[in-house]
């Protein structure tokens, strides 16, 4: 039986198995990102855990891990430990705590438990006690406070400027927190929400995520400045890289005389594609930021020195660095497109008395347009996903200003900016080690992934559509 | 026709000669493609060149409108004159020459543009602006190429949607839109079916009244059907050239006889 196995069979199984393994790993990665990323805005029910020692913990379970222990007599046992998100950074660093499942005496989901999302300081979980208006208690108890809050909500913005409004929240162990309304982003009671209310809450959260600035050191709030910064930087990069890439490809394929020089240029272009991105970052820092930026400063902004204007990281330098990084992508795509233009088309044009330029402009460029667009979209996808070189040429974790705003001269190319990729790094790998911002990292990863996938899909779709249109019908 | 403007040297040329090829040899790199070819092409007749593949007939054709200029590392000796003027002379404007010597290729090669734009391409690059005059040119050329009736309702549609036979007629319409004197045809029917081929041949006979047509073909029947003069080429040499009927019935050269009777080639 076994002797019938040929080397061919083995190779088929090996290569097929490798393919399946790779596919499963990619699928698993995407699944993890999607599940975690999409779950971020779903209101989690709050559970009250009563422990055997009388302690009470309010929060929602995020993980349950098994712990193997060996007792003194050598007997083995398995216990479980619950990871609970508790909010309230003052009591629980990282807003997390661990509970031994065996020590939980009882659990319930109190209907009145609320989540108070604060602008600063993270979330608080607890129970509404009272609504305080300029030192006077105007409502007491869950229903009354909530009714009062909802009643005031439309005018809250105005009221909170005139009077000191606050709500008092008691945590599960009876401690009282007073939270100024100016620090309240949102209050909701997840345990009594209907599915419909949760969906609305989810939609609202997702919307706010896309369109609002971050809060609380990127742990909460939205990523709008990061999306904007990424888009602005990528557009700027495209404006720079496309003319250079397209013209370089035209020279290589149309005007350059085939020979050692062109071969050297091609090898150089291909090598450029293989250089680690951080090396581009170092080059960008040295050449663009220090040399070009420094020169600009000493020529145009000497009054501000030693405070640098262009001589520090900024969106322009990031765009130029990434333009260098993606130049090979554009050149290769356009060159391939040019190589695919049937020679008979050029001959037909020349035979009609067209010059080389007329042939290029009126026949070759329209045919090669899909390749130019493909090059553009591939370079955009590459640029949107590259972070390392940006970290030293102008990306920051948090920036209050967008690179485009209403202040003269409206476009501020020298400004540092936020970037989605760096946002992931910042939220996922904070030096303070907190897990509080991990959901945010997943969501931002999902968003970036979606953007890159959408761009690549657009590239493929565009290419196939235009190829159909320009393919020559031959017998 | 622009013959009035061209300087003529009557001593050498009979007045019906339009193209004079004198002792032309041609090399692709080190490989010789033409060996000392001398011949004359008469005005407003159809001249055919036949011969086996690689005999140099297409090379000869492409020398007449200088298409071989686009090929790197080629070399030529000898002289080719059109209306008495050396077309490889220092004063020759290649784009003007190609305007006067149109070309139709082996593979139908319409531009990936609309039918209208294909015909309008040549006039446009030579300065005709969009408008009624251009519309007239397009219609006239499409009619001249026996294509108008078939495509007049779809002028704005892609030329690539046409059948191969229609595409080749469109290429002929495109070529005559710049009003050439000479029309070079490089095996124009080799990718067409018999019906489409006969339509092209019909068209060629009709165009003969206005254009000098030079056709390269390895289809001897086609040469016999359409041409008045035929040249037989072999291994870069022009073996013999003369009146088509005479050549097919009483070839002077042994090699020609072998080829047309199917014994060689």
B98 shares contact with chain A (CB less than 8 Å): yes
Q: Which of A151-155, A459-463, B219-223 has the highest mean pLDDT?
A: B219-223
pLDDT band at A455 (very low <50, low <70, confident <90, very high): confident
Helix axes B164-176, B194-207, angle to 10 degrees: 20
Cα A418 from Cα A227, distance rounded (Å) = 8
Helices and strands per DSSP (H, E), number in chain B: 10, 10
Q: Do A350 and B67 touch (CB under 8 A)?
A: yes
What does the pLDDT average to over A175-190?
A: 83
Nearest by CB to residue B67, choosing from A258, A347, A366, is: A347
Per-residue pLDDT at A2: 52
Find the chain A residues whose C-beta atoms sit closer than 8 A to any C-beta of B.
Answer: 258, 342, 344-355, 358, 362-363, 366-367, 469-475
User: pLDDT class for A448, splitting at 50, 70, 90?
Assistant: confident
d(CA A90, CA A88): 5
Span of A138-142, A283-287, A402-406, A444-448 with lowest mean pLDDT: A402-406
Give φ, ψ of A371 to 5 degrees. -70, -35
Distances (CA, A) of A315 to A224, A392, A452, B243: 16, 11, 20, 76
A161-165, A212-216, A468-472, B182-186: range with lowest mean pLDDT: A468-472
- Is B191's Cβ below 8 Å from some Cβ in A? yes
Chain B residues inside the 8 Å CB shell of A256: none
Q: Which of the following CATH numbers is that of domain A47-108: 1.10.490.20, 3.40.1390.30, 3.90.1140.10, 2.30.30.720?
A: 2.30.30.720
Q: How many CA atoms does the CB half-sphere of A383 hold within 13 Å? A: 33
Q: Which chain A residues are within 8 Å of B174, Cβ to Cβ?
A: 348, 352
Residue to substitute from B95, B99, B102, B109, interface A, most A β-carbons within 10 A:
B109
Distances (CA, A) of A247 to A309, A360, B136, B219: 32, 12, 38, 44
Beta strands in B122-253 (DSSP E): 182-186, 212-216, 229-234, 237-243
Comparing A4-13, A149-158, B5-14, which segment has the lowest mean pLDDT? Answer: B5-14
Whether A475 and B102 lie within 8 Å, measured CB to CB:
no
Q: Which residue has the higher pLDDT, A137 or A475?
A: A137
CB contact under 8 A, A348 and B99: no
Task: Tell which wins on pLDDT, A426 or A245.
Answer: A245
Task: Classify B235 in phi/psi space as left (phi over 0), alpha (psi -120 to 50) or beta.
Answer: left
A255-265 pLDDT per residue, tens: 888 889 999 99
User: Of the spans A82-96, A146-160, B5-19, B153-167, which averages the highest pLDDT?
Assistant: B153-167
Q: Closest to B107 (Cβ–Cβ): which among A344, A353, A366? A: A344
Element (H, E) at A10: helix A7-39
Strands (E), chain B: 17-28, 31-42, 46-50, 74-82, 85-86, 101-104, 182-186, 212-216, 229-234, 237-243
Place of tokens 């971050």: A214
What value does the mean pLDDT take over residues A454-466? 79
Output the CA angle B140-B142-B148, nearest 5 degrees. Answer: 110
Q: What is the pLDDT of residues A73-95, one digit of tens each?
A: 777 888 888 888 888 877 887 77
Q: Which residues of B touch A474 (CB under 8 A)?
A: 107, 191
Residue among A344, A353, A355 whose CB faces B122 most closely = A353
Task: Tell me which chain B residues have a C-beta less than 8 angstroms from the C-beta of A349.
Answer: 111, 121
Whether pLDDT at B12 is above 60:
no
At residue A62, the pLDDT reads: 81
Q: Check CB contact under 8 Å for A474 and B191.
A: yes
Q: How far is B69 from chain A (nearest CA, A)?
A: 10
Cα(B265)–Cα(B256) distance, rounded to whole angstroms?
Answer: 10
For B101, name the nearest residue in chain A, comparing CA atoms only: A351
Distance CA B182, CA A465 (A): 39
User: Across A92-96, A423-427, B9-13, which has the greatest mean pLDDT?
Assistant: A423-427
User: Taking the CA of residue B228 as centre, how many other CA atoms within 13 Å lie in the half-sphere pointing to its CB?
Assistant: 12
Angle at A212 between CA A208 and CA A215, to 5 degrees: 100
The C-alpha of A403 sits at a distance from chain B's nearest C-alpha, in angstroms, of 42
Q: What is the pLDDT of residues A165-176, one digit of tens each?
A: 788 888 877 788
Whole-Å CA distances, B217 to A226, B56, B159, B245: 66, 12, 25, 16
Q: Cβ(A129)–Cβ(A176) under 8 Å? A: yes
pLDDT in tens, B127-141: 888 888 999 999 999
Whole-angstrom Cα distance, residue B37 to residue B29?
Answer: 18
Complex ipTM: 0.87
What is the DSSP code string of A292-336? Answer: IIHHHHHHH-GGGTTS-SSSS--HHHHHHHHHHHHHHHHHHHHHH
Domain ranges of chain B: 17-260
CA angle A245, A250, A253 (to 5 degrees): 120
Torsion angles phi and psi, residue B48, rounded to 5:
-115, 145
The whole-chain average pLDDT of chain A stands at 84
Q: Kindly provide the b/e burial profile for residues A345-372, where b requires at least 16 CB atoms within 10 angstroms of the residue's own CB.
A: bbbbbbbbbbeeebbbebbbebbbbbbb
Count, in order, helices (H) and strands (E) of chain A.
15, 13
SS3 A450: helix
pLDDT score at A212: 83
Contact A351 B70 (CB under 8 A): no
- The tens digit of pLDDT for each residue in A34-77 reads 888 888 788 888 898 888 888 888 888 888 888 887 777 777 88
Chain A residues with beta carbon closer than 8 angstroms to that of B105? 344, 347-348, 351
DSSP-assigned states of every residue in A45-96: PPEEEEETTS-EEEEEEEEEEEEEEE-TTS-EEEEEEEEEE---TTTSGGGE
The b-or-e profile of B225-240 (16+ CB within 10 A means b, else e) is bbbebbbbbbebbbbb
Model pLDDT, residue A335? 92
Are A473 and B105 in contact (CB < 8 Å)?
no
Q: Helix, strand or coil for residue B24?
A: strand
Which of B98, B111, B164 is the closest to A353 by Cβ? B98
Residues constituting chain B: 265
Consecutive H or E run containing A159: helix A156-162
Which chain A residues have a beta carbon less than 8 Å from that of B191? 474-475
Whole-number percent of chain A with pLDDT over 70: 94
The residues spanned by each domain of chain A are 47-108, 113-198, 224-470
Give the one of A351, A366, A473 whose C-beta lies nearest to B160's C-beta. Answer: A473
- Residue A326: band (very low, low, confident or very high) from pLDDT cuts 50, 70, 90: very high
Residue positions counted in chain A? 475
Residue A430 preceded by cis peptide, ω within 30: no
How high is the pLDDT of residue A193? 86
pLDDT bin (cut points 50, 70, 90) of residue A3 is low
Of A346, A352, A355, the CB nearest to B178: A352
Distance CA A44, CA A37 (A): 14
3-state percent breakdown (helix, strand, coil) of chain B, nearest 5: 40, 25, 35
Count A/B contacts: CB-CB distance under 8 Å. Answer: 80
Residues in chain A within 8 Å Cβ distance of B93:
none
Classify strands A176-180 and A165-170 as parallel, antiparallel or unpaired.
Answer: antiparallel
Where does B17-260 sit in CATH, by number?
A: 3.40.50.300
Average pLDDT of span A298-312 = 76
Write down the CATH number for the domain with range A224-470: 1.10.3720.10
Residue B109 with chain A: CB contacts under 8 Å: 342, 344-345, 347-348, 472
The answer to whether the beta carbons of residues B50 and B251 sit under 8 Å apart is no
Cross-chain Cβ contact A352/B191 below 8 Å: no
Tell me the per-residue pLDDT of B179-211, one tens digit each, with 9 for 90 and over: 999 999 999 988 888 888 998 998 899 888 889
Q: Determine if the peptide bond prior to A266 is cis (ω within 30°).
A: no
Contact state of A258 with B72 under an 8 Å Cβ cutoff: yes
């Amino acid at each position: 039986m076994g002797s019938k196995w040929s080397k061919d069979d083995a190779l088929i199984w090996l290569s097929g198995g490798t393919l399946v393994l790779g596919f499963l790993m990619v699928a698993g990665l995407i699944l993890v990102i999607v599940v975690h990323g999409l779950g971020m805005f779903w209101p989690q029910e709050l559970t009250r855990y009563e422990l055997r020692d009388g302690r009470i913990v309010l929060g929602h379970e995020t993980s349950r891990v098994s712990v193997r222990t060996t007792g003194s007599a050598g007997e083995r046992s398995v216990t479980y430990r619950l990871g609970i998100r508790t909010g309230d950074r003052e009591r629980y660093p990282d807003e997390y705590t661990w509970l031994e499942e065996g020590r939980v005496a009882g659990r319930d989901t109190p209907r009145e438990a609320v989540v108070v999302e604060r602008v600063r300081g993270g979330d608080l979980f607890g129970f509404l006690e009272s609504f305080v208006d300029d030192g006077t208690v105007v409502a007491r108890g869950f229903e009354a406070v909530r009714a009062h809050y909802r009643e005031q909500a439309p005018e809250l913005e105005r009221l909170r400027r005139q009077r000191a409004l606050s709500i008092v929240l008691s945590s599960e162990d009876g401690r009282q927190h007073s939270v100024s309304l100016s620090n309240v982003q949102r209050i909701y009671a997840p345990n009594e929400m209907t599915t419909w209310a949760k969906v609305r809450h989810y939609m609202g959260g997702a919307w706010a995520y896309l369109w609002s600035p971050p809060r609380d050191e990127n742990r909460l709030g939205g990523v709008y400045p990061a999306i904007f910064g990424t888009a602005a930087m990528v557009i700027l990069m495209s404006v720079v890289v496309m003319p250079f890439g397209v013209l370089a490809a035209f020279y290589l394929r149309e005007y350059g005389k085939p020979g050692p020089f062109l071969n050297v240029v091609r090898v150089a272009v291909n090598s450029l594609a293989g250089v680690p991105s951080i090396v581009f970052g170092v080059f960008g820092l040295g050449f663009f930021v220090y040399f070009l930026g420094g020169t600009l400063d000493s020529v145009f902004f000497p009054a501000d020195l030693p405070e640098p204007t262009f001589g520090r990281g900024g969106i322009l330098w990031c765009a130029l660095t990434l333009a260098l990084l993606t130049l090979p992508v554009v050149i290769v795509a356009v060159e391939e497109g040019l190589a695919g233009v049937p020679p008979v088309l050029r001959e037909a044009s020349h035979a009609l008395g067209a010059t080389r330029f007329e042939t290029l402009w009126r026949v070759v460029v329209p045919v090669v347009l899909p390749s130019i667009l493909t090059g553009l979209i591939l370079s955009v996808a590459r640029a949107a996903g590259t972070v390392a070189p940006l970290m030293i040429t102008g990306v920051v974790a948090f920036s209050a200003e967008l690179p485009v705003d209403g202040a003269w001269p409206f476009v501020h190319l020298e400004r540092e900016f936020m970037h989605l990729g760096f946002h992931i790094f910042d939220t996922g790998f904070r030096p303070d080690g907190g897990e509080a911002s991990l959901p945010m990292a997943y969501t931002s990863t999902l968003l970036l992934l979606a953007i890159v996938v959408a761009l690549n899909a657009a590239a493929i779709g565009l290419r196939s559509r235009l190829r159909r249109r320009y393919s020559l019908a031959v017998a | 026709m622009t013959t009035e403007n061209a300087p003529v040297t009557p001593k050498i040329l009979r007045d019906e000669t339009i193209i004079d090829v004198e002792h032309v040899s041609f090399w692709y790199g080190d490989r010789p493609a033409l060996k000392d070819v001398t011949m004359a092409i008469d005005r407003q007749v159809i001249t055919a060149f036949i011969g086996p593949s690689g005999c140099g007939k297409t090379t000869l054709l492409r020398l007449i409108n200088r298409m071989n200029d686009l090929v790197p590392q080629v070399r030529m000796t000898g002289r080719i004159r059109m209306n008495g003027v050396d077309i490889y002379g220092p004063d020759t404007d290649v784009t003007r020459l190609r305007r006067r010597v149109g070309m139709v290729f082996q593979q139908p090669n319409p531009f990936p543009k609309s039918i209208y734009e294909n015909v309008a391409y040549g006039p446009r690059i030579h300065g005709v602006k969009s408008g009624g005059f251009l519309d007239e040119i397009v219609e006239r050329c499409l009619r001249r190429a026996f294509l108008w009736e078939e495509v007049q309702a779809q002028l704005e549609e892609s030329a690539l949607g046409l059948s191969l036979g229609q595409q080749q007629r469109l290429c002929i319409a495109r070529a005559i839109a710049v009003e050439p004197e000479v029309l070079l045809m490089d095996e124009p029917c080799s990718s067409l079916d018999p019906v489409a081929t006969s339509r092209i041949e019909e068209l060629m006979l009709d165009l003969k009244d206005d254009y000098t047509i030079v056709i390269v073909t390895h289809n001897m029947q086609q040469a016999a059907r359409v041409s008045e003069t035929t040249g037989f080429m072999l291994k870069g040499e022009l073996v013999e050239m003369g009146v088509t009927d005479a050549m097919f019935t009483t070839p002077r050269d042994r090699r020609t006889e072998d080829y047309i009777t199917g014994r060689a080639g």
